[in-house]
Chains A and B, each alone.
Chain A
Amino acid sequence: MKTFNLPGGAGARSVLLAVGLSALLVACGEAETPQGEFVDINRDPFPSSYTPLPSETVVIVNATILDGKGGRIDGGSVLIEGGKIKAVADIITPPDGARVIDGTGRWVTPGIIDVHSHLGVYASPATQSHSDGNEVGDPVTAGVWAEHSLWPQDPGFGRAAAGGITAMQVLPGSANLVGGRSVTIKNVPGRVAQDMKFPDAPYGMKMACGENPKRVYGGGKNNVLGRPATRMGNVHGYRQAWADAQDYQRRWDKYERDYKAGKDVLPPARDLRMDTLAGVLKGDIKVHMHCYRADDIGTMLDVMKEFNYKIASFQHAVESYKVADKLAENGVCSAMWADWYGFKMEAYDGIRENIPFVHKAGACAIVHSDSASGIQRLNQEAAKALSDGIRAGVDISKAEAWQWLSMNPAKSLGIDSVTGTLEAGKNADVVVWSADPFSVYAKADMTFVDGAVVYDRADKSKQRVADFELGQPGEGDVK
């Protein structure tokens, strides 16, 4: 076991403290055996190697702007400089040398953030060898990380950029009770997954309620125990995992206490599953929980309280409208489709007003895709949900509805201090739409990540061709 210290991180501080303490004790002659090196777990062994692409100073003028917080400016301007949003205002005088983009007839919004994607882990083409999203065999695989499956050459990333997607959370699948760590990435080309990793974004952990785990394991097809086979078996599985993680953390805490007290102690055995689960209990890792039924959601809200962790979001959540008040009370986001429903029993009660009803209850509503196709049109998904909400008497503006696509997703992923809205100082993750993005005919004209153009509908050189697509029929075609 080796120690890798994160410069300036919590680990580094505790090491310094521990070393200083032991030196002091040794100096006082009170320690009988010299201590071994303090073992601290590196929390970031696969650090982001993302660097922003080249960008220029850009002013988009005379556009309809949705700021992502619920505000709207008609005929306004956005200034992008040094990869950041410099200003959002009615009128901005373009600085010398700035590229001026005529926004007449166009709309400008924050980039869309999809909190539920499997791009890269279930890449196109969907060959068996690209099926890298579910580590089936053990219901709790908290030790697997989606980034280790993520193939940056998935052509789906480029398609998503053409749909205005600037960031996304890539998750393991839902076969397991605990599927493993997710990764939040910027939608930029890269050679290795780390090139796409969103710097400083907290990790997420995927969990799954309901039918999928019990279908995968019940009957013994995928493990000898045939467990879990029921919903109550699922809940036993989560709770036992949390109880184990508490125990694991207590051992590490004791190790640290003992070490600081000058004892020559061995660290507990490292368990990669427990590292992740304990990370959740410490608040470093956010739980994103695939959960359809209202009663499953209700159960998990109590499991969350029992073990004192935080569920950042329920994913899919087709019955969130039945418990929207509880979601609001508990401050848990709900990531939903506009209108998918019915493909299994736990999706049977999906309604088209789910998103606006959750919004109306004051809970954090998110439009997500879970689809390599759907991710390309999340603006249309929001439009459908908005329209159905308005028809059901929920008064929501387009500007408010855009929160479902950028600000609320950013909050649930813990990246809202740097992206998700058009505010001075934030990353310039921006989309220029050809028209009102609540129209089926609107296209993303340009997508910016950190001020750099990652898609331009009018410029072939800014339309991605994945390595896989080179030399294939349709290479470089309009997609």
Chain B
Amino acid sequence: MKMIKTLRTGAAIVLMASTALTAAVSAEDIAVTGATAFTMGGKGKVENATLLMSDGKIVSVKSGGSVPKGYRTVDASGKWVTAGFMVAGSTLGMGEVNLSADNNDARASKAKDTIGLDVRYSLNPANNIIKNTRIEGVTRAVTQFMSTKDNWQGTGAVIQLGGDTADKMIVRNKAFISINMDEGAARSNGGSRSVLWAELIKKLDGAKPKPKSKSKSSDDKKSDKASDKKKTKSAGDKMLAALFAGDTSLMVNAHRASDIRQVIDLKNTYGFKVILTGAREGWIVADALAAADIPVLVNPLDNLPSRFDMLASTSANAARLNAAGVTVAFLPPDTLNARLVVQSAGNAVAMGMPWEAAVDALTVNAAKIFGVSKSYGTLASGMDGDVVVWNGDPLEVMTNADNVFIQGEEIPLVSRQTKLRDRYKEIPRAPAFKK
């Protein structure tokens, strides 16, 4: 992923929605045969599918298709195949143990520029949670900061969970700027929503590209000279410029219906792309969200009035938002349990969301929301080979992933957890000697 500086017409730079140049050239040619393939994105399913992958990409998905010479065949007869799933929010790759360990980079508590923070420097491909997650069929994730000293939470990336370097992991960096506008954020940033929103509006007005003025007022000249010409723009300023240029999105965390209405107003006022996350009371304003074309990230299990801005929480939230035409993707319970996003999706179905919509939420919807749908999200020719073979309905709690491919490479179903499992299957006298 690169940030390329371009035209500077009062605004700034443009982020290239780049796809990573990662698919290993040496990736095997693989045929997954005999399964029911759910191609997603309203495209239905292919029975007795032959799914071909070459050079890290999906070549074709055809019913009863033949396997060309040189392809390794993975027999998936009677099984289910989907694209690898994606969690729409996590800190994957940025740390492991939240409490009582020093390996977490997702809390940027001393950051000065809380808008421009870049996850890239924190990503660790050897992170164990990544392995625990991907072997359960989740191959992609949005990763981002948990907290800073204020309510801006830096930028976030879409990563794939198979890369062995940070650059290979990153599919799209700076895919969004994250900001928290919920009740907790109001308490710790000015004490009131009225402060929180005023500060945000002030910041955005300051960053808004100035229209080319015909009559140069003295005020404009001053500010042009003072700030624009001389100073190098901060990472945060560049990100805000990218937001106004349409090259990234603003991800806003908010829950209360009245707060969400203000988020809708924000989008209508400034016109940039907005993603709503959290959204406990999103269902109340579902029609307005759909009309404003604001996608929503929810945890389908949230159904308690955990706070006063979450009073109307219901696990029917996802189903209702989807029914209203909102593009929905799913948040996992937390990063360690990112793999459980699949169970959460199953529960969304139990609460009335159509199965296909829930699978879309785990794949193509997330891909569209975060700008990676050209390479990921469906089982279509030319897409990245993120493919999972399941031994049953993937949303079921007793189903497991039997084969996981990320960008065409098969991932060994091994993690620190599986090694512990194997070591203690028969309790050893001397565990450290048991390899």
Contact = CB atoms under 8 A, between A and B. Distances in A.
B397 A479 contact: no
B281 interface: yes
B337 A339 contact: yes
A373 B336 contact: no
Interface stretch (A67-75, A300-308, A382-390): A382-390
A380 B311 contact: no
B97 A348 contact: yes
Contact of B425 (A125, A357, A373, A439): A357
B301 interface: yes
Contacts of A156: 304
B398 A438 contact: yes
Contact of B315 (A125, A155, A479): A479
A438 B393 CA distance: 13
Contacts of B303: 159, 373, 376, 479
Nearest to B304: A124
B398 A351 contact: no
A440 B350 contact: yes
Interface residues of B, number: 52
Contact of B99 (A325, A344, A352, A373): A344
Interface in A428-479: 438-443, 468-469, 472-474, 477-479
A341 B96 CA distance: 11
A324 interface: yes
Interface string B14-28: 000000000000000
Nearest to A468: B305
Contacts of A357: 424-425
Nearest to B351: A478
A192 B100 CA distance: 38
Interface stretch (B39-47, B266-274, B339-347): B339-347
Contacts of B421: 351-353, 392
Contacts of B350: 440-443
B400 A391 contact: yes
Contacts of A440: 343, 346-347, 349-350, 395-397
A126 interface: yes
B101 interface: yes
A368 interface: no
A439 B396 contact: yes
Given A126-B306, A344-B99, A478-B314, A439 B337 contact: no
A393 interface: yes
B314 A322 contact: no
Nearest to B402: A391
B101 A372 contact: no
A383 B397 contact: yes
B397 A215 contact: no
A211 B427 CA distance: 25
Contacts of B399: 387
Contact of B101 (A345, A387, A477): A345
A125 B424 contact: no
A373 B343 CA distance: 13
Nearest to A466: B305
A18 B281 CA distance: 64
Query: Which of A342, A392, A469 has the most CB atoms of chain B within a 10 A radius of its CB?
Result: A342
B312 interface: yes
Contacts of A392: 421, 425
Contacts of B316: 477-479
A351 B425 CA distance: 11
Interface in B40-98: 96-98
A253 interface: no
A339 to B, nearest CB: 7
Contacts of A340: 336-337
Contacts of B306: 124-126
Nearest to B299: A373
Contacts of B347: 377, 380, 440
A349 interface: yes
A341 B417 contact: yes
A387 B400 contact: yes
Given A159-B303, A469-B305, A325 B427 contact: yes
Nearest to B315: A479
B314 A474 contact: yes
A367 B340 CA distance: 17
A229 interface: no
A159 to B, nearest CB: 6
A267 to B, nearest CB: 44
A321 interface: yes
A472 B304 contact: no
A383 B398 contact: yes
A345 B398 contact: no
Contacts of A325: 427
A386 B399 CA distance: 11
Interface string A362-379: 000000000011001100
Interface in B308-354: 308, 310-316, 333-334, 336-337, 339-340, 343, 346-347, 349-351
A279 B98 CA distance: 37
A358 to B, nearest CB: 11
B51 to A, nearest CB: 24
A343 B343 contact: no
A438 B301 CA distance: 17
Interface in A126-161: 126-127, 155-156, 159
B420 interface: yes
A41 interface: no
Contacts of A15: none
Contacts of A342: 96-97, 128-129, 336
A361 interface: yes
Interface string A224-246: 00000000000000000000000
Given A339-B340, A387-B400, A441-B350, A472 B427 contact: no
Contact of B312 (A127, A345, A477): A477
Contacts of A376: 301, 303
A391 B392 CA distance: 14
B97 A474 contact: no
Contacts of A341: 336, 417
Contacts of A322: 424, 427, 431
A412 B350 CA distance: 32
Contact of A477 (B314, B333, B336): B314
A215 B424 CA distance: 29
Interface of B: 96-101, 128-129, 257, 281, 284, 301-308, 310-316, 333-334, 336-337, 339-340, 343, 346-347, 349-351, 395-400, 417-418, 420-421, 424-425, 427, 431
Interface of A: 124-127, 155-156, 159, 211, 215, 321-325, 339-345, 348-353, 357, 361, 372-373, 376-377, 380, 383-384, 386-388, 391-393, 438-443, 468-469, 472-474, 477-479
20 contacts: A124-B306, A125-B306, A215-B99, A339-B339, A342-B336, A344-B97, A345-B99, A349-B420, A351-B421, A353-B421, A373-B302, A373-B303, A386-B398, A439-B397, A440-B396, A440-B397, A441-B349, A468-B305, A473-B257, A479-B313
Given A341-B336, A349-B420, 12 more contacts: A211-B99, A322-B424, A342-B96, A373-B303, A376-B303, A383-B398, A384-B343, A384-B398, A469-B311, A472-B305, A472-B311, A479-B316
The 9 closest A-B pairs by CB, nearest first: A474-B312, A440-B346, A473-B312, A344-B99, A387-B398, A383-B397, A124-B304, A479-B303, A472-B311
